[in-house]
Chain A
Amino acid sequence: MNPILRKEMRSLLRERRGWLVPGLYGALLAGIVAVVCQTTAYAVIDPQRMAVEAAMVVAVLQTIVVALIAPILGAASIASERERGTWTRLLAAPIARSQIAVGKLAATGMYIVVLLLVPLPVAALTVLFGGMDMASLSGLCTTHLLLGITLGCVGLAVSTAFHRTWVATAVAIALVATLTVTAELPALTLRTSAETPMWIALLESLSPIRGTELFFRGDEIEHARRFWAMHFGALAALAAGAVAFATVRIRSMTE
């Protein structure tokens, strides 16, 4: 096992944030779903419709949580080491710098997986009541995992440039917000015909909320597949770029 990953997991298990964030997220999710069930007039007469709404709540909330937590985790990974004064020792240790980057990234990914597990009980209930099928659930989980890893990579890249955790976190969040607005705005304002222009489709595929949006658009399978492929490709390219930037920065880091 990568020693940095092992260290990060040990730290996360002991730190308050390690269990506080998933705990709060679980409580928030349960609360919102309960409110949806209580306030929906057709809850008794049409449980499937209620399950569809609950599935939508789970998907949207999951997107927001992943889009917020992943860049925060990534941004804190190196900046917090520098802030605490532990980074120098890691850089002087006989371990490849790429191993440090891999360990930090893997730890972010592991935590994202934990966050993805939190809504599974509620999601399983929506599947049980016909709110979504198993294929959609696993597709949604894959989308969120890819989104989390990508935004974690973006956070890690930002983290290499700052010495203060809060600055790195603020910049990472601002970057994700800018990416979302830049990717969504042309589609919202310029799309006039039924056929989306290619440049708008390409830009839109970079949006962090694109994956969740595709689930609820009800496109035809062939049409949806094209958008999926574009979205996954865009996220993978963004992640690769961020990892390359972070690796180059870490390899050349002196302090």
Chain B
Amino acid sequence: MIEMEHVSHAYGSRSVLEDVSLRVARGEVAGLVGPNGAGKTTLMRILATLLRPTAGSVRIGGCDVCSSPELARWVVGFLPERTSLYPELTAWEYLDLFAEMAGQAPAVRKRRIDEALARVSLDDRRDAPTRELSKGLRQRLGLQATLMHDPRVLVLDEPTDGLDPLSRRDVLAEVRELAASGRAVLISSHVLAEIEEVADTVYVLAGGRLNGDDPEPLRRYRIRVRGDLEQARAHLAKQPDVRSAVLDGDRILVDLESQVADPSSLAQSLLARGFALLEMSEEHSRLEERFERAVKGS
């Protein structure tokens, strides 16, 4: 869905992105983390057709962002870092603006807006001016506006910035739901724990460069069985949602594709094949370590 190949960008003589390549597949949530000034917002603005890269190619849902930005805007939904709404418009009118910009017929528009307001529990406050809404609700309303043209790709620049824990939880749950509905999502945040919670893969950006082109999956399990280890490994490698299964001494390291994959199904399948499960533990995330390494390296 998102294919970025060797992208560089510079503001004048100051290079902001250097040879960045990333891919986000359908149904995948990719996290983008990095220190301030690492180039996260620049990268996202390139994806949102707001900036042209100085080198490299960007394709979103098959559309070349550089040669067909108008087409790409139909495929991508962009939520900027600081979502400002029109304070004098009501919640309904704000969504109506985005639905109308997407050229939807009045009946379709009305249905989609009502559904969106219900999703953020604003159906009873549809006529409230957006300035009267809490920051969390405004952010969620902004996200719903991004969805009005039904984009297949979502680019969310720090959507939980400044939100309280409950609003943050709601936004992240919504992001997961959107990915589950088949959209590719790229989300950035300063909070590593948040990215760990929501993302299937994480890209660490520091000094305009990505830390490794093949991001490590966030969920890794260490499994020990009684029986033929190689047979068990081969069996695990064939399971759905398993990205890789490799031997590590007397254990098997299993990387899951997605945050939502159910690890208990691995245990059940091993038991069903006659392997005795001796140990199964989740390895702690190495995101913080990767982040530190990337920042020091840059």
Interface residues of A (CB under 8 A from B): 3-4, 6-7, 10-11, 14-15, 84-86, 88-96, 254-255
Q: Are B100 and A15 in contact (CB under 8 A)?
A: no
Q: Are B50 and A91 in contact (CB under 8 A)?
A: yes
Measured in the bound complex, the distance between the Cα atoms of B52 and A152 in whole Å is 31
Measured in the bound complex, the distance between the Cα atoms of B261 and A104 in whole Å is 48
Nearest Cβ on chain A to B150's Cβ, whole angstroms: 10
Measured in the bound complex, the distance between the Cα atoms of B129 and A10 in whole Å is 12
Q: Are B88 and A94 in contact (CB under 8 A)?
A: no
B interface, over-half SS: loop
Partner of A255, one of B51, B85, B145, B149: B51
Q: Are B89 and A10 in contact (CB under 8 A)?
A: yes
The 6 closest A-B pairs by CB, nearest first: A85-B84, A3-B100, A95-B101, A14-B88, A92-B78, A94-B73
Which B residues lie within 8 Å of A7 (CB)?
86, 89, 93, 97
A selection of 5 A-B contacts at a CB cut-off of 8 Å is A3-B100, A15-B88, A86-B86, A89-B78, A91-B49
Measured in the bound complex, the distance between the Cα atoms of B54 and A138 in whole Å is 55
Q: Are B73 and A93 in contact (CB under 8 A)?
A: yes
Partner of B84, one of A6, A86, A92, A93: A86
Nearest Cβ on chain A to B98's Cβ, whole angstroms: 6
Given contacts A3-B101, A85-B84, contact A92 B149 (CB under 8 A): no
Residue total for B at the interface (Cβ-Cβ under 8 A): 29
Q: Are B49 and A92 in contact (CB under 8 A)?
A: yes
Q: Are A88 and B80 in contact (CB under 8 A)?
A: yes
Given contacts A92-B78, A254-B51, A254-B52, contact A11 B86 (CB under 8 A): yes
Given contacts A3-B100, A11-B86, contact A255 B45 (CB under 8 A): yes
Q: Are B50 and A92 in contact (CB under 8 A)?
A: yes
Partner of B93, one of A10, A88, A95: A10
Interface residues of B (CB under 8 A from A): 45, 48-52, 70, 73-74, 76, 78, 80, 82-86, 88-89, 93, 97-98, 100-103, 129, 145, 149
Chain B: CB-nearest residue to A3: B100
Nearest Cβ on chain B to A103's Cβ, whole angstroms: 10
Nearest Cβ on chain B to A98's Cβ, whole angstroms: 11
Nearest Cβ on chain A to B7's Cβ, whole angstroms: 15
Measured in the bound complex, the distance between the Cα atoms of B86 and A84 in whole Å is 9
Q: Are B101 and A11 in contact (CB under 8 A)?
A: no
Measured in the bound complex, the distance between the Cα atoms of B100 and A84 in whole Å is 21
Q: Are B51 and A6 in contact (CB under 8 A)?
A: no
Measured in the bound complex, the distance between the Cα atoms of B83 and A93 in whole Å is 14
Nearest Cβ on chain A to B57's Cβ, whole angstroms: 18
Nearest Cβ on chain B to A243's Cβ, whole angstroms: 20
Measured in the bound complex, the distance between the Cα atoms of B101 and A96 in whole Å is 9
Q: Are A93 and B101 in contact (CB under 8 A)?
A: yes
A11, A91, A94, A96 interface centre (most CB from chain B within 10 Å): A94
Partner of A86, one of B51, B52, B85, B101: B85
Partner of B88, one of A4, A10, A89, A93: A10
Nearest Cβ on chain B to A48's Cβ, whole angstroms: 46
